[in-house]
Structures are given as structure tokens and as C-alpha cells.
Amino acid sequence: MLIKNKMKGALLFAVAMIISMIHTGCKQSHKKAGMKKSGIDSVAVFVLGKEPVNKQITFPAELIPFERAEIYAKVSGYIKNLKADIGDHVQKGQVLAILDAPEYFSNSAQATADVQVARSRFLGSMDTYKRIENAAKVDGTIAANELEKVKNQMMADSSSLQAARSKLSALVQVRDYLIIRAPFSGIITQRNVDAGTLVGAGNTKPLMVVENNSSLRLRVPIPEVYTAAIPDTSFINFTVDAQPGVIYKASLSRKAGALNLSNRTETWEFIYTNKDNQLKSGMYANATIKLERKENSFVVPASAVTTNLEKRFVIRIKDGKVEWVDVRNGIGMDTKMEIFGNLATGDTLLVRASDEIKAGTVLLPKFQSK
């Protein structure tokens, strides 16, 4: 009898458990059905904040000479002597070439003779004027208009003398142009003429090119987005393709202060002291610059910014609904991106933005760190 009672109790317990499980399953089914019916999805979000922005970037650059001059002939003539050749080191004022201009010497002789003739005429007219002026002191001896006529002739001869002297002086200056000198100390990097070559103002190529390579200018085109950032140091490192394993250092000299309209970049110039002429002008270089903002900026995961055919934007959740906020990219930092737009500290943004998530959609935020 006791065994029958125990079996009956176990059977009742089993039935109760089955009923309880069925009831629980029904409740969970109803809960899932309710969630599915509500249509609210949960998405990963983060709270927007400002962070320091700095990044090390490598830009293409070019080395140019500290000074460079293309030498042309100011007067027409033939190359009489060449005093320097390509690769020669020259000093400021050193003679590079001497021109021969036969017509110059004939013109100079003619100008000298013209000065002598003009001087003789002036002295004669001046003597005549003085004599007539003395005679005119006696009333009635010389007519007033005659005295004025002689005076005007003397002044005209004086002007002719001054003109002849100016012409001779100009020819003397031209004589200096027959000797071509180095404008500064440097090296001859081009020579395009030989002895006997006719040169003059019509030449399209320079006689020679002189470069001062004791120091080199490293010019780096900085894209517009980085121009508001500043280097954390006045020095940068750079390399050249000819010596890829060697790192050189240059100091910041100046910034252009305006953008190049053709490529939207600002030129930053650095100075490198070229000891022993290790580097050559015209070399291409890779300049590494560490940029940083003066103030903190909004920084988000790169996945939080998306684009479509019309705009670039992030997705903000406000009052449980989706908003598209237009942004502009700043400095990219590995997996993060600096952005600018109508945003505020504390905004809730989606970690992964997509244009498939339409504005006005209701989403359940699930917070996570950036």
C-alpha cells in the first residue's frame, strides 16, 4: 500500500512538471512574438567625445637649391672665352665667360668722337655768347633778340653735349656686360654654349646655370586638411631614393601662407645643410612629419562614417530615433577618424553607420566603448 502511494505521488509530480514546462514555453513564445511584433532592433553605439589628434604622415617632397640663377647674355656677341664648365665650383664675382662684340668697339669709337664734336660746338657757342653778352653792355650795340638767339644756341649745344656723353656712358656700361660673372658662390650645373657661339637677348636657353647647393630647400606640399595642424617639432626626418637606408634631418624655415589652387596644397619649406654635398638638388624625398592639433577634436571609429552619392555622414540616435548628420573628414588615424560637423560632446553615434539605416528609424542603443 505504501509503494502504491509513492508511485502515485511521483506520477502527480511528473504531471505537474510537464504542465509547468508547457506554461513557461508558452510565456517565452509570447514574449518573443511580442518583441518581433514591436520591430525594435538593438545597435552598437558610443558616446561622442573630444580627443587629442596627432599622426605621423609621410609626404612626397623635392630638394631644390638654396639659390639658382640662369645666366643669359644681355648684349649680342660671340663667346670669346669660357672660364667655367659644368661641375666647376665658382665664387661670387668670378668670370664665367667673355663675349666678343666687334660692333661695340666701333660704336664706342663713334660715340667718343661725337662727344668731342659736341664739346667743340658747345665751347664755341659759349665763347660767342660771352663776347656778345659783354658787347651788349653798351646800349644800342647788340639787339636784344640777337643776344637771346646766341644764348639759345649755346643751351642747345650744351644739351647735345650731355646727350653724347650719356650715349658714351651707356656704351661703357655695355662693355661691362661683355664679361659675365657668377652672381653668387656655387656650382655650374649646366653649360649650353661653346667658344664661338652667337648669344644675345634672343637665346631661349641660358648660357650657364649656377646653383648654390651648400644648403638645400626641402619643399613639401601639405594637403589642405593638414594645413591647420602644426608639427610637434621644428625638425623633420626625410629620406631619398638614392640612399634609402639613410635618414636626414631638416629644420622648418617657412610656410607659403596660401594654397596652391591647382592641387589645394600649401608649400612648407625646410632647410637642410648639405655638408660635403651628400645630396643633390632635384632629388625626390619622402618627408615624415608628425602633425597635431592645437585643440582636441571629435574622433570616431572609421566605421562610424559612411558616404553615399550625396553626402558623407554619421548616424546619431536622439530620443530613440535615427538622425543623419553631415560631417567632413579630418586627419585619419589608423582605425579612427577626426570629423567636423554639427555635433556636440555626449552625442550617441552608431559604431557602424550605413545608408540602409534611414532617418527616423527607431533603434535600441547598446553602448560600447570606441
Q: Are residues 214 and 288 in the same domain?
A: yes
Q: Are residues 355 and 241 in the same domain?
A: no
The answer to whether residue 167 is domain-embedded is yes
Domain count, the chain: 4
The answer to whether residue 13 is domain-embedded is no
- Reported as a single tens digit per residue, the pLDDT across 63-89 is 999 999 999 998 888 999 999 999 999
pLDDT over 90 (residue 55): no
Q: Are residues 358 and 302 in the same domain?
A: yes
Contacts of 112 (CB under 8 A, 6+ apart): 168
C-alpha cell at 338: 577626426
The answer to whether residue 361 is domain-embedded is yes
Would you call 196 helix, strand, or coil by DSSP? coil
The parent domain of residue 163 ranges over: 102-177
C-alpha cell at 340: 567636423
pLDDT band at residue 23, thresholds of 50, 70 and 90? low
The answer to whether residue 197 is domain-embedded is yes
pLDDT band at residue 154, thresholds of 50, 70 and 90? confident
Least confident of 170-179, 287-296, 329-338: 170-179
Q: Give the CATH number for residue 138.
A: 1.10.287
- For 171, the enclosing helix (H) or strand (E) is helix 144-177
Q: Are residues 254 and 321 in the same domain?
A: no
Do 223 and 267 touch, CB atoms closer than 8 A?
no
Q: Are residues 157 and 266 in the same domain?
A: no
Closest-CA residue to 46 (of 324, 317, 367): 367
pLDDT band at residue 15, thresholds of 50, 70 and 90? very low
Q: Are residues 218 and 319 in the same domain?
A: no
- Reported as a single tens digit per residue, the pLDDT across 299-336 is 999 999 999 888 999 999 998 899 999 999 888 888 89
The answer to whether residue 37 is domain-embedded is no
pLDDT band at residue 34, thresholds of 50, 70 and 90? very low
**Which one has a higher pLDDT value, 332 or 23?**
332
pLDDT over 70 (residue 249): yes
- Count CB neighbours of 58 within 10 A: 12
Rama region for 309: left / alpha / beta (φ>0; ψ in -120 to 50; rest): alpha
Give CA separation, 109 vs 115, 117, 166, 171, in Å.
10, 13, 14, 10
First CA to last CA across the chain, in angstroms?
70
Q: Are residues 144 and 257 in the same domain?
A: no
Q: Are residues 83 and 191 in the same domain?
A: yes
Would you call 278 helix, strand, or coil by DSSP? coil
Please give the backbone phi and psi of residue 110, each rounded to the nearest 5 degrees, phi first: -65, -40
The answer to whether residue 216 is domain-embedded is yes
Q: Are residues 337 and 232 in the same domain?
A: no
Q: Give the CATH number for residue 233.
A: 2.40.30.170
Q: Are residues 106 and 148 in the same domain?
A: yes
pLDDT over 90 (residue 247): yes
Which amino acid type is present at position 162? Q
Q: Are residues 214 and 285 in the same domain?
A: yes
pTM for the whole thing?
A: 0.64
What's the rounded Cα separation, in Å, for the pair 283 and 61?
9
Which amino acid type is present at position 328? R
End position of a domain, from candidates 189, 206, 223: 206
Q: Give the CATH number for residue 335.
A: 2.40.420.20
Q: Give the CATH number for residue 186.
A: 2.40.50.100
- Reported as a single tens digit per residue, the pLDDT across 252-265 is 999 998 999 998 99
Mean pLDDT along residues 258-281: 91
Sheet of 198-199, strand order: 179-181, 95-100, 77-82, 198-199
The answer to whether residue 130 is domain-embedded is yes
The pLDDT of residue 116 is 84
The pLDDT of residue 240 is 94
Please give the backbone phi and psi of residue 67, each rounded to the nearest 5 degrees, phi first: -135, 145
Q: Are residues 197 and 170 in the same domain?
A: no
Do 319 and 325 touch, CB atoms closer than 8 A?
no
The answer to whether residue 6 is domain-embedded is no
What's the rounded Cα separation, in Å, for the pair 98 and 86?
16
Contacts of 370 (CB under 8 A, 6+ apart): 46, 299, 300, 301, 336, 351
End position of a domain, from candidates 134, 156, 177: 177
C-alpha cell at 198: 652667337
End position of a domain, from candidates 270, 292, 314: 292
pLDDT, mean over the chain = 83
